[in-house]
Amino acid sequence: MIILPGNCIIYMIGTNQPLADRMRPKDLDGYIGQQHLVGERSILRASLESGNIPSFILWGPPGVGKTTLARIIANRLNRPFYPLSAVHSGVKDVRETIEKAKQQRFFNTPSPILFIDEIHRFNKSQQDSLLSSVEQGIVTLIGATTENPSFEVISPLLSRCQVYVLKPLGKEELTVILNNALQQDFFLKELKIKVVETEALFRLSGGDARKLMNILELVINTLSASHPEEIVLTDLNVQEIIQEKIALYDKDGEQHYDIISAFIKSIRGSDPNAAVYWLARMVEGGEDPKFIARRMVILAAEDIGLSNPNALLLATACFEAVNLIGWPESRIILSEAAIYLATSPKSNSSYLAIDGAIALVKETGDLAVPLNIRNASTALMKELGYGNGYKYAHDYAGNFTLEDFLPKEILNKVLYTPQDNQREKEIRSRLSALWKEKYNY
């Protein structure tokens, strides 16, 4: 139902369809963004114009047009389109779909398109079931993923697919999408909507077109209930409505980055209570447990490091156990790991050391390796002094002797600085005893 000025009521059919779905483009002319893939003279457009596309994987954040692009490609090439979601489908569904695809093929007709959303959620056996059909050309596979396919897609399948990276949508692209919705949607164009500010809309959408449409629809529905004569969109009312109405966590990824950020910062801040709370939000929201475990592996090295080297071992074991055990039992493993990491002493000395070393390399360039630690693998190299004067540490008391290992230009440069925790105090004491004034620990 639409309420127009003057209390005129118009009843509409089909308004249960979400705005994001109503505004989904049907062809490349209406597709916004990703011009590096679909713009003039781009690689994917060239493949489309030739009518011969390879199997490929679309990798990018939520709401940037992966599913839409797959549908547009199928329509443009006039091929049968079989969509599957890795969240809800198994090996049986894949095999049944491939069998349908076989029946669709006659002589030299092009392969049907098999689209698998969230392909990173398929396990190894499910991905293996795709291999022969892709290799034989029974189907052209288009996969969509928000995770790095190098880690989540098995090597044999990845080697048979191109990988195309999709970028978050920028302000200009979001503006076009917003204006298209207000001007073209059969429901919204009948309302009197005044857009005063867009900063909150765009900031909350985070480059996600689907999220932008969901927020816009929610805000308009809320405002139209109290002000049907004119709906005014400002940063303030958008912010207030979203804070009041939006779900705690959306399993489709709408608060994906905010929640994982809160989780990581709680662990870094040594608060096990907050860490478990944010973990529960992700668990209840349907977050991929492997994503959570992977982030804890990174945190163990970045934020705990040498203050407790066992943290990285436990986080890695957590990731492996989550893959082995599955859901819902994995929630217990994730909880144990999160609490252990949160209650561990913290140090980012390894993180600072490698970033400092990289900055030094960029500043000083390719400094020569000192002759004494070069590998003298030929007679000529020995004549040139390679390895000359090298002191084999195990030939000396305590398996140590003073030696120069850095280029002469940065001979006494300190890149690793032990921090103030029990483990690294011991490291500092040992390094100070070994190197004395050389590194000034």
The rounded distance, in Å, linking the Cα atoms of 32 and 174 is 9
The rounded distance, in Å, linking the Cα atoms of 115 and 82 is 6
Is 11 domain-assigned? no
Same domain assignment for residues 203 and 265: no
Return all residues near 414 (Cβ < 8 A) that are at least 6 apart.
439, 440, 441
pLDDT value for 5: 37
> Which range of residues forms the domain containing residue 73?
33-165
Amino acid identity at 202: F
* Domain boundary, last residue among 343, 370, 402: 343
The rounded distance, in Å, linking the Cα atoms of 19 and 189 is 12
Across residues 223-231, what is the average pLDDT? 81
Is 18 domain-assigned? no
Same domain assignment for residues 159 and 185: no
Same domain assignment for residues 223 and 272: no
Contact yes or no for 344/304 (Cβ under 8 A) = yes
Same domain assignment for residues 159 and 51: yes
Return all residues near 345 (Cβ < 8 A) that are at least 6 apart.
304, 307, 308, 421, 422, 423
Same domain assignment for residues 181 and 147: no
Domain CATH code at residue 94: 3.40.50.300
Same domain assignment for residues 44 and 155: yes
- Element containing residue 389 per DSSP (H, E): none
Nearest alpha-carbon partner for 131 in 101, 161, 104: 161
Q: pLDDT band for 63, please (50, 70, 90 cuts).
A: confident
Mind giving me the DSSP string for 74-93?
A: HHHHT--EEEEETTT--HHH
Residue 290, CA atoms < 13 Å, CB-side half-sphere:
14
The rounded distance, in Å, linking the Cα atoms of 110 and 138 is 9
> What digits encode the pLDDT tens for the residues 349-387?
999 999 999 888 888 888 888 888 888 778 877 888 888
Same domain assignment for residues 115 and 185: no
Amino acid identity at 395: D
* pLDDT above 70 (res 256): no
Across residues 101-105, what is the average pLDDT? 76
* Domain boundary, last residue among 165, 184, 214: 165
Is 27 domain-assigned? no
Is 325 domain-assigned? yes
Q: pLDDT band for 175, please (50, 70, 90 cuts).
A: very high
Q: How does 21-38 read in b/e, with b if 16+ C-beta sit within 10 Å?
A: ebbbbeebeebbbbeebb
For residue 84, what are the β-bridge partners? 116
Q: In the predicted model, what is the mean pLDDT of the chain?
A: 84
Same domain assignment for residues 138 and 63: yes
Same domain assignment for residues 87 and 146: yes
Q: pLDDT band for 432, please (50, 70, 90 cuts).
A: confident
Domain CATH code at residue 279: 1.20.272.10
Contact yes or no for 323/122 (Cβ under 8 A) = no
Sign of torsion over alpha carbons 324, 329, 332, 335: positive
Domain CATH code at residue 398: 1.10.3710.10
Across residues 387-408, what is the average pLDDT? 85
Same domain assignment for residues 72 and 135: yes
The rounded distance, in Å, linking the Cα atoms of 87 and 130 is 16
Nearest alpha-carbon partner for 263 in 234, 283, 247, 243: 283
Nearest alpha-carbon partner for 215 in 175, 250, 249, 242: 242
Window from 86-90, 243-247, 335-339 with minimum mean pLDDT: 243-247
SS3 at position 40? coil
How many other CB atoms are found less than 10 A from the CB of residue 348?
17
Nearest alpha-carbon partner for 168 in 59, 8, 287: 59
Q: What pTM did the predictor assign? A: 0.55
Is 24 domain-assigned? no
Is 119 domain-assigned? yes
Mind giving me the DSSP string for 247-261?
A: -S--TTTTTHHHHHH
Q: pLDDT band for 328, please (50, 70, 90 cuts).
A: confident
Number of structural domains the chain divides into: 4
SS3 at position 385? coil
Same domain assignment for residues 161 and 177: no
The rounded distance, in Å, linking the Cα atoms of 9 and 227 is 14
Is 210 domain-assigned? yes
Contact yes or no for 207/49 (Cβ under 8 A) = no
Same domain assignment for residues 140 and 196: no
Window from 46-60, 164-178, 249-263, 371-385 with minimum mean pLDDT: 249-263
Contact yes or no for 209/20 (Cβ under 8 A) = yes
Nearest alpha-carbon partner for 306 in 346, 271, 265: 346
The edge-to-edge listing of strands for the beta sheet with 113-117 is 81-85, 113-117, 140-145, 56-59, 162-165
